[in-house]
Each structure stands twice: as C-alpha cells, then as structure tokens.
Amino acid sequence: MGVQETNSGVKRLKRQLIAASCRRKKPLFHLLFKVLLLLCVVVFILCYTLSSSSLRWWESFPLEEQYQRFFNQPNHDNLTPLYWVYPAHRDKTNEILQTTESPTVPPTVPPTVRPTVPATVPPTVPPAGIQYHQAYARNYHFIMDNAEVCKTKKPFLVLMVPVAPHDVTARDAIRQTWGKDSQIQGEVVLTLFMLGYSGGADAGQVQEKLKQENLQHHDLIQSDFMDTYLNLTIKTMVIMDWLATRCPTAAYGMKIDSDMFLNIDNLVIMLQMPGIPKQKYLTGMLMWNRPVVRSKDSKWYVPVEMYPKNTYPTYTLGMGYIFSSDLPGKFVEVSKSIKPFNIEDAYIGTCMEKLGLAPTSPPSPSQFKAYNTKYNRCEFSKVITYILGSSEELVKYWTDLKKPGRPC
C-alpha cells in the first residue's frame, strides 16, 4: 500500500508540474500571436498606402519598358508600332544583333545632319531571343539626301534601288547599264540608291567611302536605320517617305532590287501607253492568294503575332513594282495604323488593302518575269524585269543586248 500511495503522489506531482508549465506558456503564446497580428496590420497598411503610386513606380522601373516591348504593346508615351522577329532569322545577317540600335553617326557626317535618336528606340541589349523594329518611316532621319535632284529636273520616273552600304559592285553595275541614262524614250528618268546604316567596327570607314561615292555620283540616299535583311520593310517605307517629301512632282516611281535586269526602254514605253492611270496605280508581277509562311526555318517566316491572317492580300512581287506618285505619301500615312511585318512587298499590299485599293495587272504581264534559265538576247529585248545571279551577269547581258543588230 505504501508503494501505491507513493506512486499516486508522484503522478499528482507530475500533473501539477505540467499544469504549471502550461499556465506559464499561455501568456507567451498570446504575446507571440499579438505581435504577429500587429505585423500583418502594418504590412496591410503599407500595401494600401503604396497601391495608389504603384503604377508610377512600375513605369519608372527600367524593366517596364522591356515588359511593354516583350508583349508587343506600345509605350504609354508613344504609340509607335513595334514588331519582333524570331531568333530563326538571326543567321540572315551578321549585323542582326544591332537591329535594335539607333546608330551613332561617325564624324564624317556633318553635324547638321546627325540623326536624333528617337525616344522610343529600344535599348542596345534586347530581351533574349527577341528583336524589335520600328517600321514607321519618319522615326528615322536622312544622313545623305540629294533632295535637289528632283528640283533641277522634273522626272517622269524615279527608280529607287535598295542596296547594302558595302555593295559598291551592284551600284556600279547599275550605273553602267539600266541606270546610266537620264533620258529614256524622251522622258527624264532618275536612278537613286537607298541605303541604311551599316554599323559594325568599320562603320566609320564605310561611311567615309559612301560620302566620297556620293560626291562623285550624287545618287545615294541614306537613312539611319540599321541596314539588315529583316529591316527591308523599314527600307521600303523610307523610300516611300523620300519620294513623298522630296520628289512629289515625279509621275511614277519604281522600287527595284539591285540584282535585277531592267529593260528600262520597255518600262517607259509601257508607262507612256494611253490608259495607264496617273493616280492610285500600282503594278508589277502580281501575287494572288499567297499563303503566309509559318515555318520558322523559312527565309519568309512570319509568326501569327505579326500577321494573323493565313493569306496575304494581292500584292506585287518585291523584285520590282511601279506606282503613281500619289501613293508613297498614302503608304507612309496608312502605315501608322498597320502592324508591321518583315515581308516588305506583302506589307505594301496590306497598305493598298487598308487604303481600299488593289494592284493593277500590267498591260503585258509576261514582261515581268522572275527567273530565267539562260540568257537569250531576243527574250531579254522583250521583257521588263528578270532576276539575275550576279552584277557580272547584268553587265554582260546588257552589253550584249545593246550591241548593234536586231535582237530577234
């Protein structure tokens, strides 16, 4: 019995100790709970206070601009359209990593014509895998202008040739062939070359050579966009802007690639034909119901985000198309409301559609040809355009075509 009483006493003592311990822990638990509750209240008040200024804080944060561009939205302060290009296109040009830069013009360019960097130009280091381009022509500035060429003469036709800054060979070949004469079939015809900015470590040297070339020939027009394959839409729209603002008195303009054979006599004869429209006229090699290429491995890939439709509106193939002088200004203006994409000839077709217009088939569609299997003097005497393989071919074929004797 004594042992049982002893054990019972021990158990009572343990229960008393546990109860005492619990009574001591309760005030400590209550204190911790109150402190946690107070912290929650303080955090809530801070969040509520900052909420009214959160937008301003986010907009001032450097990543906000990247966020806007990543999702392809216009900046709050500027509604200039932007478009992006997938990494699959990077191998198209060695300078593509610089397509987001507004170049710094080297010292060879007179200070009076140095381009002003637009406020909305993306940073020099773009988000990984995405590169942005501004297609609206007046975001850019002319470094070389030659605006006087349309003041001294009223041209009937202005040939605008987009060409890379370093491609002197192509320009010289054109100067020796279809761009040589300024009087064709009794009409004044001008040939001008449109260039962007080359960028790269040797940009200063390239710019100095271009300056000297222009002093000799007075036929270079240069703007401060980066001259890359993916910027052909920009290049084309800058061509349109130059024609609209510097040469509005010309009857017609033509955008023609530098790798083309152009039978300029046949072209002028076509434009002199009765019934050729003087306004709202765009013609060339027409493309109907062309599907949008969605394969990322293709040179002509366009993602859905850039152009959601599955087919393009009717357009003229970019190798060479002719337009009346009223259209360039209309293209520039309507481009402000059209999301840009990197297929320049289809983009012009989209501008036409937005304007409620459509390209016109030429009087003789067979004169506008893309590729030829081999040179034939009789054939080349009848066409207007052909795509060639090299500048050497152009000089060779032109020389043969112009030699004495009937071609057929």
Q: 128-154: per-residue pLDDT in tens?
A: 333 334 667 888 889 999 999 998 889
Smallest Cα–Cα separation from 311: which of 283, 326, 291, 294?
A: 291
- Average pLDDT rounded to a whole number, residues 46-59: 46
Per-residue pLDDT for 286 more than 50? yes
Rg (CA), the chain: 34
Residue 202's pLDDT band, with cuts at 50, 70 and 90, is confident
- Average pLDDT rounded to a whole number, residues 152-163: 95
Range of the domain at 216: 133-364
pLDDT of residue 76: 32
Residue 207's pLDDT band, with cuts at 50, 70 and 90, is very high
pLDDT of residue 9: 55
Domain containing residue 304: CATH number: 3.90.550
Between residues 50 and 31, the one the model is more confident about: 31
Are 362 and 323 in contact by the 8 Å Cβ rule? The answer is: no
- Average pLDDT rounded to a whole number, residues 223-236: 92
* Beta-bridge partners for 158: 190, 253
Per-residue pLDDT for 262 more than 70? yes
Between residues 382 and 140, the one the model is more confident about: 382
- Give the integer Cα–Cα distance in Å for 6 and 119: 91
Q: Does residue 348 fall inside a structural domain?
A: yes
Residue whose pair of structure tokens reads 């559609």 in the numeric block? 353
For 191, residues 6+ apart whose C-beta sits below 8 A from its C-beta are 159, 161, 174, 175, 178, 179, 219
Per-residue pLDDT for 27 more than 80? no
Q: Does residue 37 fall inside a structural domain?
A: no
Q: Does residue 126 fall inside a structural domain?
A: no
Q: Does residue 340 fall inside a structural domain?
A: yes
Q: Domain count for the chain, please give it.
A: 1
Residue 106's pLDDT band, with cuts at 50, 70 and 90, is very low
- Average pLDDT rounded to a whole number, residues 295-323: 95
Q: What percent of the chain has pLDDT over 70?
A: 69
For 127, residues 6+ apart whose C-beta sits below 8 A from its C-beta are 66, 69, 70
Are 330 and 311 in contact by the 8 Å Cβ rule? The answer is: no
Are 157 and 127 in contact by the 8 Å Cβ rule? The answer is: no
Q: What is the pTM of this model?
A: 0.69
Q: Which tokens is 38 given?
A: 């107070």
Q: Does residue 301 fall inside a structural domain?
A: yes
- Give the integer Cα–Cα distance in Å for 110 and 268: 37
Mean pLDDT lowest among 104-108, 269-273, 280-284: 104-108
pLDDT of residue 235: 95
pLDDT of residue 219: 97
Q: Does residue 356 fall inside a structural domain?
A: yes
Q: Does residue 388 fall inside a structural domain?
A: no
- Average pLDDT rounded to a whole number, residues 314-335: 97
- Biggest CA-to-CA distance, the chain: 144
- Average pLDDT rounded to a whole number, residues 116-122: 34
Q: Does residue 272 fall inside a structural domain?
A: yes
pLDDT of residue 49: 52
pLDDT of residue 199: 80
3-state SS, residue 334: helix
Between residues 11 and 117, the one the model is more confident about: 11
